[in-house]
Amino acid sequence: MDAEILARVQFAFTVMFHYIYPPLSIGLGIALVLMEGIWLKTGNILFHNMARFWTRIFALTFAIGVATGIVMEFEFGTNWATYSRFVGDIFGSALAAEGIFAFFLESGFLAVLLFGWNKVGPRVHFFSTCMVALGAHFSAVWIVVANSWMQTPAGYHLERMVDGKPVRLPLDHAVTPADLGSVRAVVDDFWAMVLNPSTIDRLTHVVLGAWLAGAFLVVSISAFYLLRRRHEEFARASLKVGLGFAIVATLLQMVSGDLTAVGVSRNQPVKLAAMEGLWDTQPYAPLTLAGWVDAKAEQTHGPAIPGLLSFLTWHDAAKPVAGLRQLPPDDFLRRFHPEATTPEQLATVRRNYWPNVPAVFQFYHLMITVGVLLLGLVLVSAFFWWRGWLWRTDWRPTRLLLGALVLSVLGPQIANQAGWFAAEMGRQPWIVWELLKTSQALSKVVTAHQILASMLMFTAVYALLFVMFIFLLTRKIQHGPDTEEESEELPDSWKAILRLDDQSSRA
């Protein structure tokens, strides 16, 4: 295998594994803020025990998230050195900002969150929980800013180093292999770079995806306890918090998903056409619900609703949506291939600017399918909750629903991973959209053997980590929340709040 494939597989593998954990931390962070907030407000010890229990789960996901995140930070330099030289001026500042604003905040206050129960007062502890959640969100902000710039670069210009002096290049300069090493992207306008055309859509989409991951983890474990009739009081309260959070996040995610797809249709029409499996530009463009793509025959098979894609994209079913055979447009191709003049030549060249359409199509549809299933699940659960059926744990329909909720934890994980696959594979062959190709971005001095060796090492380490994670998570779930009235190690300031609870229950 060549170095490009290996480097891409290695990055995909390390980032996929990493991405199991940060969404859980982000989502659980919000759940912890909710639980501890309710506890401070009501003084109900149940919510205190709940916050303690979920903090232990949070600590586990956070630890692996940090450990695997360091790898990501340095992999740009190790495997993608040419990329790093080309975009360091822009991409590096987003990563540095992530370190300064997000990681320090998160890891600093995490100490108080985990170990500060008997060191600080309840309000300071709650503040720390909020800061950890905020830090987790900041890190999402900066990394999505960096990634969105790769999707829709803005606020930059290209410059060439000539005798140590930078010379500005025209906006439509097409980067050639000979340019690498002397041409780089340089920031013009920091805020245009940060708020590039896709940042807001994609950030919202990613954060909501993370909320779903956290919310459904809470839902899943609580539903498990209810099914097993263990810690029932705790599980009911926990399920309410988790399910409420999940309902809000799922509904918002539907809106965000629509906005994100519309954004893709404007900013990266090739990617949208690949995701939807649309080959020809046409009015009343159909939305294929599921199916498969025949890349050889350049056809998509499967049930489709005519006009729906046009309607979703333009809110007008008659308006044409661009298909792959017309994308990227001719004038763009001529910029990169002045030698291609006839329509046949352009059509041949054009194929090199498509992503792997069948894969992008399937990952995108997997994400949508899982999203719709989750929506159905939260709607049914909300109905059961409203009718009070959710707590009738000996009733068969409720047991079936709870069983589905136990499995629901996998939903956001699958959708998040599939969504990232669609987004990143849909960007190919570019590493920076229409600016730098992935094949041009590799480290020149790193050989395929070195990548393979490091990949084997990471595979072994990550497999071990994953087994440990599942094992410890299962143990924590088996152990369950602490149910005893709070222990002697709590300081007076905490006990004051607990006493408040005693008084109110007596009154």
3-state secondary structure of 168: strand
Does residue 303 touch other proteins according to CB under 8 A?
no
- Gyration radius of the chain over CA positions: 25
In terms of CB distance, is 121 or 358 closer to other proteins? Answer: 121
| Residue 251 C-beta: closest distance to other proteins, Å | 35
**DSSP per-residue string spanning 331-343:** HHHHHH-TT--SH
Total residues contacting other proteins (rule CB under 8 A)?
A: 75
Does residue 77 touch other proteins according to CB under 8 A?
yes
**How far, in whole angstroms, is CA 105 from its chain's centroid?**
20
In terms of CB distance, is 359 or 472 closer to other proteins? Answer: 472
In terms of CB distance, is 181 or 306 closer to other proteins? Answer: 181
Residue type, 362: Q
| Residue 93 C-beta: closest distance to other proteins, Å | 4
Residue type, 90: I
Nearest in space to 344 (alpha carbons), one of 330, 328, 323, 355 = 330
Does residue 36 touch other proteins according to CB under 8 A?
no
**Residue 463, both tokens:** 């497999």
| Residue 275 C-beta: closest distance to other proteins, Å | 31
In terms of CB distance, is 266 or 444 closer to other proteins? Answer: 444
| Residue 481 C-beta: closest distance to other proteins, Å | 13
Q: Which of 290, 458, 477, 501 binds other proteins (CB under 8 A)?
A: 458
Does residue 255 touch other proteins according to CB under 8 A?
no
Pick the piece of the chain touching other proteins (CB under 8 A) from 169-177, 271-279, 297-305, 455-463: 455-463
Long-range contacts of 112-119, Cβ-Cβ distance < 8 Å, separation of 24 or more: 113/32, 113/55, 113/58, 114/55, 114/59, 117/52, 117/489, 117/490, 117/494, 118/489, 118/490, 118/491, 118/494
Tell me, what DSSP letter sits at residue 80?
Answer: -
| Residue 76 C-beta: closest distance to other proteins, Å | 7
* Residues numbered 81-120 forming contacts with other proteins, rule: CB under 8 A: 81-82, 84-85, 87-93, 95-101, 103-105, 107-112, 114-120
Residues 6+ apart with CB under 8 A from 416: 19, 23, 209, 210, 212, 213
Q: 431-450 mask for other proteins (x: CB under 8 A)? A: ------------xxxx---x
Q: Which of 46, 64, 223, 401 binds other proteins (CB under 8 A)?
A: 64
In terms of CB distance, is 380 or 472 closer to other proteins? Answer: 472
Between CA 199 and CA 197 the distance in angstroms is: 6
Alpha helices in 152-198 (DSSP H): 190-194
| Residue 159 C-beta: closest distance to other proteins, Å | 8
**Peptide bond before 328: cis, by omega within 30 degrees of 0?**
yes
Tell me, what DSSP letter sits at residue 2?
Answer: -
In terms of CB distance, is 358 or 480 closer to other proteins? Answer: 480
* Residues numbered 152-181 forming contacts with other proteins, rule: CB under 8 A: 159, 164, 166, 181
In terms of CB distance, is 206 or 441 closer to other proteins? Answer: 441
In terms of CB distance, is 110 or 390 closer to other proteins? Answer: 110
Alpha helices in 152-189 (DSSP H): none
Does residue 196 touch other proteins according to CB under 8 A?
no
